[in-house]
Amino acid sequence: MANNKLRIVSGMYGGQYIEAPKTSATHPMGERERMAIFNRLRDEIPGRRILDAFAGSGAIGIEALSLGAAHVDFMEIHPKAIKAIKKNLIKLQCADKAGIMRAPDGEYGIIFADPPYDNPQYDIVSVLISHLVPGGYLVLSHPGHPEPPTFNYLELISDKKYAAAHIKIYYKK
């Protein structure tokens, strides 16, 4: 990432660069991790309503839109991050398929949760799960310690480590 730019790695916006917020309050997920997640869930994304929680730049949600998500809600509270998300959605002309909010609104087929590693906020992640539809997926990026709790009603289907990032994918039956 040079000059606070992130590259979208797949789909219709693949190869486009977006802005990351100029703040230490967020940490953008790396291309390698995003590529692994979207390679795994590529066929599950088209037509789904998705939540990008702790959205930062919005890169994860924009990757989902790039792969055919029907709508993405970006959950973010940091003003610089919200500004970056708005700018990125306008640049890619996809703001009509997105919303920016402070809390989840409705039900989602996929929830991406990438909380700050210095404060993983597993209590908020637990609340997000109540917005996940049966047959939906939770993708959680977290530090090695502390480990996330066991989430009721979710089956862990993938657990991968990428440097400091641990990416877990859960399925809700």
Tally of domains within the chain: 1
Q: List Cβ neighbours of 147 (8 Å cut-off, separation of 6 or more).
A: none
- pLDDT tens for residues 47-56? 999 999 999 9
CATH number of the domain to which 162 belongs: 3.40.50.150
Burial class (CB in 10 A: 0-12, 13-18, 19+), 173: exposed
Residue 2's pLDDT is: 43
CA distance linking residue 162 with residue 1, whole number of Å: 17
Which range of residues forms the domain containing residue 23?
Answer: 5-172
Q: Would you mind telling me the total number of residues written for the chain in this entry? A: 173
- pLDDT tens for residues 44-92? 999 999 999 999 999 999 999 999 999 999 999 999 999 999 999 999 9
104 and 51 in contact (C-beta within 8 Å)? Answer: yes
